[in-house]
Amino acid sequence: MADEAMISLRGVAKNFGGGGQEIHAVQEVTLDIQRGEIFGIVGFSGAGKSTLVRCMNLLEVPTKGQVFVDGVELTGLSKKELNGQRKKIGMIFQQFNLFASRTVLENVAFPLKHSGLSKEQIREKAARLLDFVELGEKKDAYPSQLSGGQKQRVAIARALASDPKVLLCDEATSALDPQTTHSILQLLKKLNQELGITIVVITHQMQVVKEICQRVALMEAGRVVEQGWVYDIFAQPQQEITKDFVASADNSNQLSEVLAETSVRESLGQGARVFRFRFLHTSGGKALVSQISREFGIDLNIIHGNLEMIDGRFLGVLILLAQGDKQAVDDALAYARAQGVNVEELRG
Amino acid sequence: MNEILTNLFPYVMKKPEQLWKSLSETLQMTLWSGSIMFVLGLALGLLLTVTREGGILENKGVYQVLDKVINIFRSIPFVILIALLMNLTKWIMGTRIGVRGVIVPLVFGSVPFFARQVDAALAGVDKGLVEAAQAMGTSSLGIIFRVYLREGAPAIARGTTITLINLVGLTAMSGYVGAGGLGDYAITYGYNYNRIDIVWAAVIVTVLLVSIIQAIGSLVARKTTH
Ligand SMILES: Nc1ncnc2c1ncn2[C@@H]1O[C@H](COP(=O)(O)OP(=O)(O)OP(=O)(O)O)[C@@H](O)[C@H]1O
Ligand SMILES: [Mg+2]
Checking phi first, is residue A16 left (phi over 0); if not, alpha (psi -120 to 50) or beta? beta
Check: CB of residue A12 under 8 Å from CB of residue A66: yes
Chain A: residues touching B (Cβ < 8 Å): 57, 59, 80, 82-87, 89-91, 93, 95, 97, 99-102, 110-111, 113, 142-144, 155, 158-159, 162, 168
Residues A184 and A332 in one domain: no
Residues A258 and A292 in one domain: yes
- Contacting residues of A for B136, CB less than 8 Å apart: 86-87, 90-91, 110-111, 158-159, 162
Check: CB of residue A88 under 8 Å from CB of residue A82: no
Residues A74 and A205 in one domain: yes
Residue of B nearest to A107 (CA): B133
pLDDT digits (tens, 9 = 90+) for B109-146: 999 999 999 999 999 999 999 999 999 999 999 999 99
Contact criterion met (CB < 8 Å) for B137 and A84:
yes
Q: Report if residue A52 sits inside a domain.
A: yes
A251 SS3 class? coil
| Residue B61: per-residue pLDDT | 97
The alpha carbon of A53 and the centre of ligand 2 are apart by a number of angstroms equal to 9
Q: Chain B interface, mutation test: which of A57, A99, A113, A166, most B Cβ atoms within 10 Å?
A: A99
| Residue B225: per-residue pLDDT | 92
Sign of CA dihedral B22, B27, B30, B35: negative
Q: How far is A322 from chain B (nearest CA, A)?
A: 53
The rounded distance, in Å, linking the Cα atoms of B60 and A18 is 15
pLDDT digits (tens, 9 = 90+) for A261-310: 777 777 766 677 888 888 888 776 667 888 888 888 888 888 888 888 88
Rounded percentage of chain B residues whose pLDDT exceeds 90 = 87
Q: What is the pTM of this model?
A: 0.89
Residues A231 and A290 in one domain: no
Q: Which residue among A83, A87, A144 places its CB closest to the CB of B226?
A: A144
Domain harbouring A325, CATH code:
3.30.70.260
| Residue A310: per-residue pLDDT | 86
Q: Report if residue A120 sits inside a domain.
A: no
Residues A291 and A278 in one domain: yes
The alpha carbon of A204 and the centre of ligand 2 are apart by a number of angstroms equal to 9
Q: Domains in chain B, start-ordered, CATH in brackets?
A: 24-181 (1.10.3720.10)
Contact criterion met (CB < 8 Å) for A86 and B151:
no
Pocket of ligand 1 (CB under 6 A): A 16-17, 23, 25, 43, 45-51, 204
Tell me how far CA of residue A19 lies from CA of A60, A203, A216, A221, B52, in angstroms: 19, 31, 34, 20, 20
Task: Say how far residue A326 (Cα) sits from the centre of its chain.
Answer: 40
Residues A237 and A322 in one domain: no
Which residue range(s) make up the domain with A208?
Answer: 5-88+164-249
| Residue B184: per-residue pLDDT | 93
Contact criterion met (CB < 8 Å) for A93 and B132:
yes
Check: CB of residue A321 under 8 Å from CB of residue A303: yes
Bridge-based pairing of strands A89-93 and A166-170 is parallel
- Contacting residues of B for A99, CB less than 8 Å apart: 129, 147, 150-151
- Of the residues A199, A223, A249, the one at which a domain ends: A249
- Of the residues A192, A218, A249, the one at which a domain ends: A249
Residues with Cβ within 8 Å of residue A194, at least 6 apart in sequence: none
The rounded distance, in Å, linking the Cα atoms of A250 and A174 is 19
Residues A71 and A218 in one domain: yes
Domains of chain A: total = 2
Residues A51 and A185 in one domain: yes
Task: Say how far residue A267 (Cα) sits from the centre of its chain.
Answer: 38
| Residue A273: per-residue pLDDT | 85
- Phi then psi dihedrals of residue A276, to 5 deg: -110, 120
Residues A265 and A174 in one domain: no
| Residue B178: per-residue pLDDT | 86
Q: Element (H or E) spanning B33, and its range? A: helix B16-51
pLDDT digits (tens, 9 = 90+) for B154-169: 999 999 999 999 999 9
| Residue B59: per-residue pLDDT | 96
**Closest of B191, B200, B206 to residue B25, by C-alpha:** B206
Domain harbouring A196, CATH code:
3.40.50.300
Sign of CA dihedral A184, A189, A193, A196: positive
Q: Which residue among B131, B137, B226 places its CB closest to the CB of A97?
A: B131
* Protein residues placing their CB within 5 Å of the ion ligand 2: A 50
Residues A84 and A9 in one domain: yes
| Residue A33: per-residue pLDDT | 97
- Contacting residues of A for B126, CB less than 8 Å apart: 95, 97
Q: Report if residue A23 sits inside a domain.
A: yes
Q: Report if residue A99 sits inside a domain.
A: no
Q: In chain A, which stretches have pLDDT less than 70?
A: 1-3, 251, 253, 256, 268-270, 284-286, 348
Residue of A nearest to B130 (CA): A97
Q: Chain B interface, mutation test: which of A101, A105, A151, A163, most B Cβ atoms within 10 Å?
A: A101
Complex ipTM above 0.85?
Answer: yes
Q: Report if residue A243 sits inside a domain.
A: yes
Contact criterion met (CB < 8 Å) for B146 and A86:
no
Contact criterion met (CB < 8 Å) for B226 and A97:
no
C-beta contacts of B37-40 below 8 A and 24+ residues apart: B37/B106, B37/B107, B37/B110, B37/B111, B37/B114, B37/B163, B37/B167, B38/B114, B38/B160, B40/B107, B40/B111, B40/B115
Residues A229 and A182 in one domain: yes
Instruction: Give the mutation target among A12, A14, A15, A16 for probing the ligand 1 site: most ligand atoms within 8 A of CB.
Output: A16
Tell me how far CA of residue B122 lies from CA of A97, A101, A150, B118, B149, in angstroms: 16, 14, 27, 6, 8
Sign of CA dihedral A121, A122, A125, A131: negative
Q: Report if residue A26 sits inside a domain.
A: yes
Residues A181 and A54 in one domain: yes
Q: Report if residue A326 sits inside a domain.
A: yes
Q: Report if residue A263 sits inside a domain.
A: yes
- Of the residues A221, A249, A277, the one at which a domain ends: A249
- Asked whether the predicted pLDDT for residue B175 surpasses 80, the reply is yes
